[in-house]
Amino acid sequence: MFKGPVENKNEAAMSELVPEPRQKPVVPMKPMGINASLLGYIGIDTIIEQMRKKTMKTGFDFNIMVVGQSGLGKSTLVNTLFKSQVSRKSSGWNREEKIPKTVEIKAIGHVIEEGGVKMKLTVIDTPGFGDQINNENCWEPIEKYINEQYEKFLKEEVNIARKKRIPDTRVHCCLYFISPTGHSLRPLDLEFMKHLSKVVNIIPVIAKADTMTLEEKTEFKQRVRKELEVNGIEFYPQKEFDEDLEDKTENDKIRQESMPFAVVGSDKEYQVNGKRVLGRKTPWGIIEVENLSHCEFALLRDFVIRTHLQDLKEVTHNIHYETYRAKRLNDNGGLPPMTVETEENHESNL
């Protein structure tokens, strides 16, 4: 049934490929009849499969930074997120340096593989943030780190013999941990998010949500959203980057209801109704971290990994990195920073 007309049509199209000179460019004729969809088939949809194969081969980088005061459960949450011991806690260098004196930034990379797709996940921990008596400007070392990654990428990009695939160390997402006080955000929180929301995708989370009652949690979430709005702080997903109505509808819901995700973290498993679940054991029972009626961890995980991972990467590249790049090239009189080798050189060259 299908074959005959298709072949005929192809022949017809072929004969048209030998046009008389100076005629209009050959446009495939409008297919007619029942096999219209087959006739017009070009194969553009196979790009999805091609992209999938490429991604499976090369894998991709995804870099998450966690920021917040010590003891808010950053390391625990990161472990929970990937159900593997990926953060600082696991590498055993937590013992001696209980509270580092200054903000240290540590990046630990792990390759995670699922369904044949490789993801090189790097978690950047910032122990020591906000732990000092005077926390003025404590966002600075973090901003510096983020900018250094943009600079690295930029240098690779403007290299004459540039790598086919530039290693991406740029921070795609910064989880900012808010203390579950039930009061308001602290000046430190506002300062950090105010400065950093311009250079990185910030996702605010309320830490240790199990320490609040349901009413306290709802109220605190509302208050945090209000305070962020009053202070003009834009968190991810930023309104201005919604691409279409579908994005807007989906993201509005996240912005107005889910944010900031009130999470509970744990890397311990318990037996609940015959199933092993990640949870926290308390005298009153087990808090299941992946149970939506217990906390919003699963929402956060789905948001970062399942629905917005690619978008986080794109906003980082198209907005934050682009802003950095334009500024750097401008400062450099329109020239790419090619001769610049180190950070010190770069400063003296400017």
The residues that touch ligand GDP, with contacts defined as CB under 6 A, are 70-76, 89, 208, 210-211, 264-265, 280
The b-or-e profile of 244-271 (16+ CB within 10 A means b, else e) is eeeeeeebeebbeeebbbbbbbbbeeee
Task: Classify residue 296 as exposed, middle or buried by CB count within 10 Å of its CB (0-12, 13-18, 19+).
Answer: buried
Q: Note whether 80 binds Mg ion by CB under 5 A.
A: no
Q: Could you give the C-alpha distances from 56 to 109, 118, 263, in angstroms and in order? A: 18, 6, 31
Q: In whole angstroms, how close is the CB of 182 to ligand GDP at the nearest point?
A: 14
Give the nearer residue to ligand GDP in terms of CB position, either 33 or 92. Answer: 92
Q: In whole angstroms, how close is the CB of 66 to ligand GDP at the nearest point?
A: 7
Give the nearer residue to Mg ion in terms of CB position, either 63 or 75. Answer: 75
Give the nearer residue to ligand GDP in terms of CB position, either 127 or 237. Answer: 127
| 148 vs 90: CA distance, rounded Å | 26
Q: Which stretch binds Mg ion (CB under 5 A): 73-81, 109-117, 176-184, 214-222?
A: 73-81
| 125 vs 107: CA distance, rounded Å | 6
Q: Which two tokens stand for residue 224?
A: 């945090």
Q: In whole angstroms, how close is the CB of 107 to Mg ion at the nearest point?
A: 13
| 116 vs 53: CA distance, rounded Å | 10
Residue in 61, 68, 72, 75 binding Mg ion, rule: CB under 5 A: 75
| 307 vs 241: CA distance, rounded Å | 16
Q: In whole angstroms, how close is the CB of 131 to Mg ion at the nearest point?
A: 11
Q: Could you give the C-alpha distances from 263 to 90, 98, 151, in angstroms and in order? A: 20, 24, 33
Q: In whole angstroms, how close is the CB of 208 to ligand GDP at the nearest point?
A: 4
155 binds, among ligand GDP, Mg ion, none (CB under 5 to 8 A by kind): none
Q: Which stretch binds Mg ion (CB under 5 A): 75-83, 195-203, 239-247, 327-335?
A: 75-83
Residue carrying the six token digits 């973090």? 142
- Positions 178 through 217 that interact with Mg ion (CB under 5 A): none
Give the nearer residue to ligand GDP in terms of CB position, either 169 or 211. Answer: 211
- What is the contact surface with Mg ion in residues (CB under 5 A)? 74-75
